[in-house]
Amino acid sequence: MAEVIMPKMGDAMEEGTLLKWLKSPGDEVAEGDPIAEIETDKVTLEIEASESGYLTNTLVEEGAIVPIGTAVATIGAQDEVGQAPAAAAPVAEPDEAPAAEPAATAAEPVAAAATNGASAPAAVQAAPPEPVVRADGERLRASPLVKRLATEHNIDLNQVAGTGPGGRIVKADIAVYVSGEKPAPQAAEAPKTAPSKAEAAAPATGTVVEMSRMKQRTGERMAEAKRDIPHFYVSTSVDMTAAMAFRTDTNAALGEDGGKISVNDLVIKAAALALRDNPTINRSYVNDQLLQHDSIDVNMAVAVDGGLIAPFIPNADQKSLGAISKLAKDLGRRAREGGLKPEEYQGGTFTISNLGMFDVDEFVAVINPPQAAILAVASVRETPVVRDGEIGVGQLMQLTLAADHRALDGAEVAVYLQSVKRYLENPMLLAIS
Amino acid sequence: MATTKRTARRGKTGNDAGTDSRKEPQVQLETEELISLYQKMVEIRLFEDACQRGFRQGKIGGYLHLYIGQEAVATGFLESHRSGDRIITAYRDHAHALLLGATPRQIMAELYGKGTGLVKGKGGSMHLFDAENDFYGGYGIVGGHIPLGVGMAFAAAYNKEDSIVQLYLGDGAINNGAFHEAANLSGLWGQDGLNPCLWILENNQYGMGTSVERATANTNLASKFDAYGIEHEQVDGMDVVAVIESARRASERVRESGTPFAVEALTYRIVPHGAADFLERYRTKEEVKKWRERDPIGLLEQRLEDAGVEEIAIAKIREEKQDIVADAVKFAEESPVPELSELTTDVYASEMHVADAG
Amino acid sequence: MPVMTYRDALRAAMAEEMERDEQVVLLGEDIGVYGGTHLVTNGLIDQFGPRRVIDTPISENGFTGAAIGMAMAGMRPIVEMMTWNFSFQAADQIIQNAAKIHYFSGGQVHVPLVIRGPNGGGVQLSAQHTHSLEGFYGHFPGLKVVSPVTPEDVKGMMLASIRDPDPVIFLEAGALYGTKGDVPEGDYTVEFGKARIAREGSDVTLVAYGRQVNMLLRVADDLDKEGVQAEVIDLRSIRPFDTETIITSVKKTNRAVVVQEQWRWFSVASEVAALIQEHAFDYLDAPVERVSGAEVPAPYARNLEVAGFPSEEQILEAVRRVLYQESR
């Protein structure tokens, strides 16, 4: 049997619509007889019989859209009428495929028809791009060169002012950091991962709590510190019996308007004096270098609404207990009220985190970079103690020092803690030093 | 040298079937020669039929322009071709390539877009080239190739090659500026013997769908050459023997003088302009029928019968040629597509690669 | 080295090659008896005769096409466009035939043809006689496009063009025919696709070709007084193109200004800017600036014409922008 195909009638024709059959199976046809009407994008015309004989089969319904080259009917002998053609499906034979290769436009519609008229294969879905989020929501403008140099020299462009058009950071703006004339502002760890993590970890239920800018920044700094600083921890118990008595006596002597000395004030003073005795602890680790501080400025971590802030008491080793007490109270109050000046919290050489007022047995703190150590202070508790071979009741307090192992070793830290302990267990030393 | 100069104004060219130029040729051809001509013309016809089928099946892409009805023109003129004579034509070019020696396989593979094609699948139907056999293309822009032919004729004379150029063009190109500029140069340079160019104007009566009389007020197209001092004649382009007579005489004249000469072959495109031209609103079925009666292959069959060639021998030729064409189609079907690396080769003749552009 | 004008260097190249190779012929309008509108071919008809120095009728399509045919038949014709403005008449021949025949003949035929003539404007020729066509012709694969500016380059590139197996669009700096420069003695060629560093510098890369190269050298002198070291690159060749020299320079200077007389849209400068961002993105300290002709047909009045072409002031402004300097 011979096939009658949907003919290509134009240079760009890919398919035609079979409008109407002019002959039915069983009809005798002569070569050139019109057997069907087809419609292209340009015109309606007739398909002619490709040879003489009988129309044996019509292979597509009226109204069907048929790719060019596809058989629409067969012509054969009278006894072949109604017999299925060798190829039952009204689509291109596989053996046409190699020849159809260059004429991809012809081959593809055929393939589509073979899958029951399914439309184009599903497009490969591109992975959604990673969202780039800037902490402050404002686009950082920097020239491509600057961005590359910033990466190479570990310069935090968030901390660099741009002088180019629209605030663009240009080469000149970072030249001093690249040349090493000035230490580069360190990249506060790029915040871009944080939101995506939060997003990923967000439970299916619950509400996302807005983080304050302060909390975000604290979080970033703490995450960075915990990730980058090799922390190690040393603990000791301090018998605070004498210190508590000293505090009671002193407060009684000071009277109502003299202000009260707190355990915290005693700890600050003790820690500061111990730093003076053990200056290696009073260091910072900056750019792979150790910085020995000239002064002893003790930060105290203060919990405030929306975060944590650590104002410091400058030259704490040289201040009297009374002065420390007064300044600590003032800083704490203003921290909670949001009245601190930058110079009161930007800086410091050693930090104390005191959770004693919250009834905690012990805890460890995360170092406040770039400082080398932080002292965690727990609650003072009545505890059985052995003194001179006898069991008695003592008031014990746990101190844990977290230290940066790049800056400090265990022995130095242990010696320092002994020193703190000595001051606190002999409170008169705090009063006279 | 004396020439037959016919400048009589013709009537409706579309309907006169070239009668004005018809005259029994004087040239005597041997039966063997007639058979050889018949073999060539049948091969062209069957080849073009196969092209039409390939196009309808979607296996041949792009534009496809068939030579059906015009076979006697190229067959007759190329009978005078001598090795070294350069041949150039427009896009109805399959016959010229076949006659000059490209194989049906090479050409069909080209049309099928295969790596085994005559120009490696880079040109398609409109850009057949076979430089080894003196065929210099195959061009797609009406009139655009004409100056090239004139330039090649200059080169032939400049280098004293004793070769000529057969420059084919259609009636549609005669109103194009390139024709007039090039004809002017040809006539001008011919004065110094620097333009052995045989202009072959294949007047198939239509530039696409626009008949000669709808395209120019002076429908005697050969007379256009008068403006450029190029002598000319007309010939019955349906009668291959008449064409041969004209071609032999004209070729000789051009070769000897180094001056151009033009022949207008009155012929007819029996098939539509291109495979995409199926409505043919511009001409009647009666007109086509009338010209079919003078189908060049039919006329030649008559001459063969007159020469005593039996019908069975003629049928045998057709069968043989049918097999050759079927083989060409099979070859084209089975040939591999071009290597993708071919995409970027042949852009420059020098070492420069396309990527060097930027 | 002997000093020659641009015009004489051009003529010397053609004459020397015509002596060496009989297949080299010249075609064009009034190039013979008249001596050439710009006297580039002056005297050559006396030396080589009218068979080789062919005065053509005014029919660019015809004689350009004929030259293509000659080239296909083994000759090495050089076509003079009296000015490139007339090449639109021959655009079908240049683009549809010369550029493509090698490809669509499957590599069987090639076209060793040179088309040369003055390109660009600047002498009040107004709209139809003022074009810079390097972007236009540079667009077409199959053509080679060069635009030399020094007498040394013009001779070396003309010799290279004649000997090249492909069609070469040879765009001359018409305004510079009378300028002088050193030209080496003897036979030499200047390779296509190699830009020339006309001046070395470290602070900003200035890119041009043709007449604008000289402008950039003057701007570079001005910048020098301000302490800015500009590197000036003369492209010389539009296709093939020397990406490497530009990128190497921009990686050093981090800034680029590209100058051209032609219109900006779809132009050489646009291509250069695109290449820089593709290959030197991480080295850029400022966006690449383009200084181009005004987007209008060329006007006649002198002041309008001057305003429509790139000026040294515009280039300086662009340089200041990429240097983030205050505008003056």
Does the annotation count C139 as an active-site position?
A: no
Inter-chain touch B194–C51, beta carbons under 8 Å: yes
Cβ within 8 Å, pair B112-A99: yes
Domain that holds residue A86: 2-114
The domain locations on chain B are 19-357
Chain C residues in contact with B136 by the CB 8 A cut-off are 72, 109
Question: What's the one-letter identity of residue A329?
Answer: K
Is there a domain that residue A204 lies in?
A: no
Whether A155 and A298 map to the same domain: the answer is no
The B residues from 271 to 330 touching A (CB cutoff 8 Å) are 274-276, 278-279
- Report the pLDDT value the prediction gives residue B9, as an integer from 0 to 100: 40
Instruction: Say if C73 is an interface residue toward chain B (CB within 8 Å).
Output: yes
pTM assigned to the model: 0.71
Catalytic residue check, A405: yes
**Same domain assignment for residues A230 and A373:** yes
Interface of C with A (CB under 8 A): 254, 281-286, 324
Q: Where along chain C do its domains lie?
A: 3-182, 196-322
Does A300 share its domain with A420? Answer: yes
Asked if the structure places residue A125 within a domain, the reply is no
Residue A120: inside a domain, yes or no? Answer: no
Distances (CA, A) of C155 to A362, B301, B311, C193: 89, 64, 70, 16
Digitized pLDDT (tens) for each residue of chain A, 433 residues in all: 788 888 887 777 788 889 899 999 999 998 888 899 888 777 778 888 878 899 998 899 988 888 888 889 999 888 888 887 665 444 444 443 344 334 334 333 333 333 343 343 333 343 333 333 334 556 788 999 999 999 888 888 888 888 888 888 999 889 888 888 777 776 544 444 444 444 444 445 687 777 777 777 778 888 888 888 999 999 999 999 989 988 888 888 877 766 788 999 999 999 999 999 999 999 998 878 888 999 999 999 988 877 788 899 999 999 988 889 999 998 988 888 877 887 888 889 999 999 988 889 999 999 998 899 999 999 998 888 887 888 888 899 999 999 999 999 999 999 999 999 999 999 988 888 7
- Write down the CATH number for the domain with range C3-182: 3.40.50.970
Residue A127 backbone zone (phi > 0: left; psi -120 to 50: alpha; other: beta): beta
Under a CB-based contact definition with an 8 Å cutoff, are residues A3 and A89 in contact?
Answer: no
Structure tokens at B357: 């552009």
User: For residue A16, is it within any domain?
Assistant: yes
B276–A11 CB contact, under 8 Å? yes
8 Å CB contact of C97 and B139: yes
CATH code matching the domain that covers C196-322, chosen among 3.30.70.1230, 3.40.190.10, 3.40.50.920, 3.30.70.260: 3.40.50.920
DSSP collapsed to 3 states, chain A: CEEEECCCCCCCCCEEEEEEECCCCCCEECCCCEEEEEECCCCEEEEECCCCEEEEEECCCCCCEEECCCEEEEEECHHHCCCCCCCCCCCCCHHHHHHHCCCHHHHHHHHHHHCCCCCCCCCCCCCCCCCCCCCCCCCCCECHHHHHHHHHHCCCHHHCCCCCHHHCECHHHHHHHHHCCCCCCCCCCCCCHHHHHHHHHCCCCCCCCCCCHHHHHHHHHHHHHHHHCCEEEEEEEEECHHHHHHHHHHHHHHCHHHCCCCHHHHHHHHHHHHHHHCHHHCEEEECCEEEECCCCCEEECEEECCEEECCEECCHHHCCHHHHHHHHHHHHHHHHHCCCCHHHHCCCCEEEEECHHHCCCCCCCCCCCCECEEEEEEEEEEEEEEECCEEEEEEEEEEEEEEECCCCCHHHHHHHHHHHHHHHHCCHHHHHC
Report the number of distinct structural domains present in chain A: 3
ipTM above 0.95, yes or no: no
- Tell me which residue in A145, A163, A165 faces C283 most closely, judged by beta carbons: A145
- Is there a domain that residue A36 lies in? yes
> Which residues from chain A sit within 8 angstroms of residue B278, using beta carbons?
9, 43, 45
Instruction: List CB contacts (< 8 A) between B56 and chain A.
Output: 5, 7-9, 68-69
Mean pLDDT (whole number) for C71-98: 97
Same topology, domains C3-182 and C196-322? Answer is yes
Residue A208 lies in a domain: no
pLDDT at B14: 42
C60-72 and B177-190 helices, crossing angle to 10°: 70
Inter-chain residue contact B57 with A98, CB threshold 8 Å: no
Among B56, B279, B333, select the one facing A8 at the smallest CB separation: B56
CATH superfamily of B19-357: Thiamin diphosphate (ThDP)-binding fold, Pyr/PP domains (3.40.50.970)
Residue B42 has pLDDT above 50, yes or no: yes
Query: Does the distance separating the beta carbons of C69 and B153 come in below 8 Å?
Result: yes
Q: Do B59 and A103 touch (CB under 8 A)?
A: yes
Contacting residues of B for C243, CB less than 8 Å apart: 358
Judge if A164 and A220 occupy the same domain: no
Q: Are residues A152 and A85 in the same domain?
A: no
pLDDT score at B356 = 58
pLDDT at residue B21 in the model = 56
Mutation target among C94, C104, C238 for the B interface, most CBs of B within 10 A: C104
Of the listed ranges A93-97, A142-146, C206-210, C228-232, the least confidently predicted one is A93-97
Set of chain B residues whose Cβ sits within 8 Å of the Cβ of A9? 56, 276, 278
Interface partners of chain B (CB pairs < 8 Å, 3 or more) are A, C
Chains with 3+ CB–CB pairs under 8 A to C are A, B
